Amino acid sequence: MPRRSATNKQIADILREIGLIDEAEGVPFKPQAYEVAADQVAALGEDLSDLYKACGATCIDAIPGIGKSIAEKIEELVTTGRLKSYEALKKKYPFDMLALTGIQNVGPKTALALYRALKVKTVRDLERVARAGKVRRVPGFGRKSEDGILKGIGFLREHEGRFRLHDLLPFAEGIVAKLRAVPGVTHCEAAGSLRRMKETVGDVDLVMTATDPKRALDAFVSLPEVSQALERGENRAAVRYRYGVNGDLLVLKPEEWATALLHFTGSRDHNVVLRERAIKRGMKLSEYGLFKGKKRVVTKTEQDVYEALGMDWMPPEIRENRGEIEAALAHKVPALVGYGDLKGDLQVQTGWSDGDASIEAMAGEAKRRGLSYLAVTDHTQALAMANGLDEKRLLKQGKEIDALNKKLREFRVLKSSECDVRRDGSLDLDDAALKTLDLVCVSVHSSFTLSEKEQTERIIRAFKHPLTNVFFHPTGRIVNAREAYAVDFPRLLRAAREYGVALEVNGSERLDLKDAHVREAVEAGVKLVIDSDAHKAEHFDNLRYGISQARRGWATRADVLNTKPVGAFLKALKGLKK
């Protein structure tokens, strides 16, 4: 009996693990190639098995960033469900490299060293030997390393079962698009944490109205994204998706749509307050409708429901019972920054450092997406692994940007840099080089374990530099992968305002600032920028997530500097320094 084809996720995980093992062995170049290939496979909107059925190996060869050798491995996984070379590799290294390196402070070389010294194969094994005090006895490790590993495992456990928004939102939107095309379906939306754009999501729950519920449910459980139907009723199905996440589809009557969408969007705390509000007004609110006695109050939209309760509609991103109810009752819900409001992107890496494309290619893609400017912010020399720029290369890059701007129409490339903040708070480039830039952006990429006081003072010293304009990914976090470094955030806000530094809302998988910090910044009057942290053309998609994070923090268009045209943006940035 032929094996089932490996899923995109399985293929991406295998490629990623091969790359990690190569990195642990010190193999040059290959690890990055496998990482790029894994990212490309994970980002595909169509199953590789379906692509292969359509046009064979040609379709695999056509995927950007995948060379001949890796393409052959993907073909083997698609056609046989296994990869002999990977199986041989796992016999040599019979431990879960992918899971172990998912722990903060555990890289591939560390995972290999722990396997060789202590036979650590799983996260549970590592936790056991660390708690027994055995890790500190391994040469090259110590008590601090052991404590850091236990802390990383704790962080991993805390986020277990939660998926990143970046991973699940495109997946869910693909399913919704397919279901909307089913005859008889009149409405279909993803609800819950997905609709509220929370940074992590537990499941993919969908709500729908349809004239033929059975047909809609049949179509749902038959989707290629569904691996198993767990439960099925007249108007509901629970499934496990091939992505490894569970989800439900609830099919409703048309008159139930508005209240059901509101209910299943949540949050729970928000809904509790709404139900209490309904009771005070002599009504009853549930997912099935809003009733006054036995009579249904006609509500075709969520706006109708909120209006019947005497309040304004609230964007899903802020429905967390954190002041939005009071604002809606007072008709003071803020006009949040919109998904089409950004004029420019201020963090873009290119082939000059660790990006995948030329400046011109990234500018072209940004313009295609409706932006009118971007800032080139390649890394600086402290990040040698990212091919960071020294002063000489930065000046050479500036000349390329000047020449490109003469060619471009209705678009401007700004000269900038993601200048590293050294451990002592000084900047990684000299002032002469920094003065050639349109704006100076700084960031922290090292010494994450400094005390809160040391880290805060380090960053404030960077803020005090008269040329510093923007602070990138201000707390160093990566969602589900790395917790923030210790920093006195209120003190950081005061310094940002005093020294005229804008804080970034990074739309990549960092989502840094987090939503609570965005709101603190807004309340403190600190200006923000929203960026993609793009290293390749498709990373401009991250702007959407940066905007949603800013919206969750109640940021308005006026709070975000890069909603302004380029001239007004540069003037506003300069104005912060006064």
Q: How far is CA 492 from the centre of its chain?
A: 24
pLDDT tens digits, one per residue of 315-324: 999 999 999 9
Return the higher-pLDDT residue of 44 and 271.
271
Tokens 């190639």 belong to 33
Mean pLDDT of 56-71: 81
- Cα–Cα distance for residue pair 526/536, rounded to 1 Å: 29
- Cα–Cα distance for residue pair 325/309, rounded to 1 Å: 11
Mean pLDDT of 191-197: 96
> pLDDT at position 157, please?
79
Asked whether residue 194 carries a pLDDT value surpassing 60, the answer given is: yes
Asked whether residue 386 carries a pLDDT value surpassing 70, the answer given is: yes
Asked whether residue 373 carries a pLDDT value surpassing 90, the answer given is: yes
pLDDT tens digits, one per residue of 104-131: 778 899 999 999 999 999 999 999 999 9
HEC assignment per residue over 371-384: CCEEEECCEECCCH
- pLDDT band at 2, cuts 50/70/90? very low
At the fourth CATH level, the homologous superfamily of domain 254-333 is: DNA polymerase, thumb domain (3.30.210.10)
Fold of 344-575: TIM Barrel (3.20.20)
Asked whether residue 493 carries a pLDDT value surpassing 70, the answer given is: yes
Mean pLDDT of 538-550: 97
For residues 402-438, one letter each, b for 16 or more C-beta atoms within 10 angstroms of the residue's C-beta and e for the rest, the string is eebeeeeeebbbbbbbbbbbbeebebbbeeebbeebb
Contact between 99 and 122 (Cβ < 8 Å): yes
- pLDDT band at 1, cuts 50/70/90? very low
Q: How many beta carbons lie within 10 A of that of residue 359, not counting itself?
A: 21
Mean pLDDT of 564-571: 98
- Cα–Cα distance for residue pair 301/189, rounded to 1 Å: 13
| Domain ranges within the chain, ordered by starting residue | 8-158, 162-252, 254-333, 344-575
Tokens 């990684």 belong to 428
Q: What average pLDDT does the chain have?
A: 92
> pLDDT at position 45, please?
66
Q: Is the CATH number 1.10.150.110 carried by domain 8-158?
A: yes
At the fourth CATH level, the homologous superfamily of domain 162-252 is: Beta Polymerase, domain 2 (3.30.460.10)
Tokens 């990690």 belong to 20
Choose the weakest-confidence range: 35-39, 411-415, 455-459, 503-507: 35-39
pLDDT tens digits, one per residue of 414-460: 999 999 999 999 999 999 999 999 999 999 999 998 999 999 999 99
Highest-confidence segment of 33-37, 162-166, 424-428: 424-428
> pLDDT at position 67, please?
83
Choose the weakest-confidence range: 52-61, 265-274, 341-350, 435-444: 52-61
For residues 456-474, one letter each, b for 16 or more C-beta atoms within 10 angstroms of the residue's C-beta and e for the rest, the string is bbbbbbbbebeebbbbbbb
Asked whether residue 133 carries a pLDDT value surpassing 70, the answer given is: yes
pLDDT tens digits, one per residue of 355-364: 989 999 999 9
pTM of the model: 0.85
> pLDDT at position 60, please?
81
Return the higher-pLDDT residue of 59 and 338.
338
Q: For residue 379, which amino acid is it?
A: H
Asked whether residue 489 carries a pLDDT value surpassing 90, the answer given is: yes
- pLDDT band at 68, cuts 50/70/90? confident
CA distances from 486 to 9, 56, 157, 373, 477 (A): 34, 51, 20, 34, 10
Mean pLDDT of 123-147: 90
pLDDT tens digits, one per residue of 393-416: 999 999 999 999 999 999 999 999
